[in-house]
């Protein structure tokens, strides 16, 4: 039997451990940890447990965007979580990624009125084999792990890379951004992130510029149990863009993961028409697209 309970941040590690076994047919455990630390998980989440109290699935819903993840043979969790999604989508249209390797989830959603949403595109991602790859780093720049006493600069470099008005968005989107908007990454988020399962300071990378300021950052979440790592997030400060630094950071991540015995580095990116920069960057760096699933939708208006 599957029992549902509301999610609290105290359950993050248990959910991450369950996700470890399911990736890539689900969220990478590091990506979930990042979303949890930075308050980016869906506002409404339930966790499914089996008779022994083990986490066997989770579902989330926020603003019509749903998530549903459980093991491949777990029809009971698929059914209970699909019921929860329908209940929590009440009054709206809800869209959910469904992984190819989860036919029981697809069947449970179909039985409850969800249908394929071809317009929503595939459930994507990009992958690169772990291991040594040659790349150029512009003169005077250096990639290294963050220092233990560098938290303030680490928060600042993230906030500069994600300042909304300085994002490489198309002009029409930039025109709608409030110039005073700032990244939501804070010292508190970094504090939580550092205490999240799979966080490894040696894999929390920064790029030092010739003037010793930080030009970019990238957190690599390596799961030694599966050999899969996720880069989440990676950002370059505007003044240092288009020098090959994102490429260098992503490929250095591949080298470090290979050195730790990992096999593949994943980036949770998608070919977004309104924001092509990340997808284009990682493709150019040699990452290849991963087709993990499709989307289903239910309209209850």
Ligand X SMILES: CC(C)(COP(=O)(O)OP(=O)(O)OC[C@H]1O[C@@H](n2cnc3c(N)ncnc32)[C@H](O)[C@@H]1OP(=O)(O)O)[C@@H](O)C(=O)NCCC(=O)NCCS
Nearer to ligand X, 64 or 276 (CB): 276
Nearer to ligand X, 7 or 23 (CB): 23
User: Which residue from 235, 258, 262, 293 is in contact with ligand X, where contact means CB under 6 A?
Assistant: 235
- # binding residues, ligand X (CB under 6 A): 21
Buried/exposed 109-138: b ≥16 CB within 10 Å, e otherwise: beeeebeebeeeebbbbbbbebeebebebe
89/75 Cα distance (integer angstroms)? 21
Nearer to ligand X, 12 or 219 (CB): 219
Residues of span 124-183 touching ligand X by CB under 6 A: 161-162, 167-168
User: Which residue from 20, 247, 264, 297 is in contact with ligand X, where contact means CB under 6 A?
Assistant: 247
280 contributes a contact to ligand X by CB under 6 A: yes
Residues of span 5-24 touching ligand X by CB under 6 A: none
274/204 Cα distance (integer angstroms)? 28
Q: Closest separation between CB of residue 259 and ligand X, Å? A: 22
The residue with its CB nearest to ligand X is 246
Q: What are the DSSP calls for 148-177, one per residue?
A: TT-HHHHHHHHHHHT-GGGS---HHHHTTS
242 contributes a contact to ligand X by CB under 6 A: yes
81 contributes a contact to ligand X by CB under 6 A: no
Nearer to ligand X, 15 or 215 (CB): 215
Q: Which stretch binds ligand X (CB under 6 A): 31-39, 49-57, 69-77, 272-280?
A: 272-280
102/22 Cα distance (integer angstroms)? 10
Query: Nearest CA to 31 among 197, 212, 263?
Result: 197
70/68 Cα distance (integer angstroms)? 7
Q: Closest separation between CB of residue 246 and ligand X, Å? A: 3
Buried/exposed 186-220: b ≥16 CB within 10 Å, e otherwise: eeebbebbbebbbbbeebbbbbbbeeeebbbbbbb
User: Which residue from 144, 225, 284, 299 is in contact with ligand X, where contact means CB under 6 A?
Assistant: 284
E strands along 188-255, which residues?
A: 204-208, 214-223, 228-236
277 contributes a contact to ligand X by CB under 6 A: yes
Which residues form the interface with ligand X (CB under 6 A)?
161-162, 167-168, 233-236, 241-247, 276-278, 280-281, 284
């Amino acid at each position: 039997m599957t029992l549902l309970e509301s999610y609290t941040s105290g359950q993050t590690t248990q959910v991450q451990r369950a996700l470890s076994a399911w990736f890539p047919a689900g969220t990478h455990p590091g990506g979930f940890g990042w979303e949890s630390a930075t308050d980016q998980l869906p506002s409404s989440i339930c966790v499914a447990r089996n008779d022994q109290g083990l986490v066997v699935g989770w579902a989330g819903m926020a603003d019509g965007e749903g998530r549903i993840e459980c093991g491949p043979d777990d029809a009971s969790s698929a059914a209970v979580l699909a019921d929860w999604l329908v209940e929590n989508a009440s009054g709206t249209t809800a869209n959910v990624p469904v992984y190819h390797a989860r036919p029981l989830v697809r069947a449970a959603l179909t039985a409850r009125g969800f249908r394929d949403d071809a317009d929503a595109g595939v459930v994507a991602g990009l992958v690169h084999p772990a291991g040594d790859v040659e790349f150029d780093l512009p003169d005077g720049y250096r990639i290294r792990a963050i220092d233990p006493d560098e938290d303030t600069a680490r928060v600042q470099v993230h906030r500069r890379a994600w300042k909304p008005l300085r994002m490489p968005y198309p002009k029409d989107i930039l025109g709608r951004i409030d110039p005073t908007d700032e990244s939501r990454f804070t010292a508190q988020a970094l504090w939580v992130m550092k205490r999240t399962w799979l966080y490894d300071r040696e894999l929390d990378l920064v790029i030092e510029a010739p003037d010793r300021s930080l030009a970019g950052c990238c957190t690599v979440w390596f799961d030694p149990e599966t050999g899969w790592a996720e880069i989440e997030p990676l950002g370059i400060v505007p003044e240092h863009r288009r020098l090959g630094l994102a490429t260098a950071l992503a490929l250095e991540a591949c080298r470090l993961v290979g050195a730790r015995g990992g096999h593949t580095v994943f980036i949770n990116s998608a070919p977004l028409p309104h924001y092509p920069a990340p997808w284009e960057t990682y493709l150019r760096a040699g990452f290849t697209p991963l087709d993990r699933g499709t989307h289903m939708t239910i309209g209850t208006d």
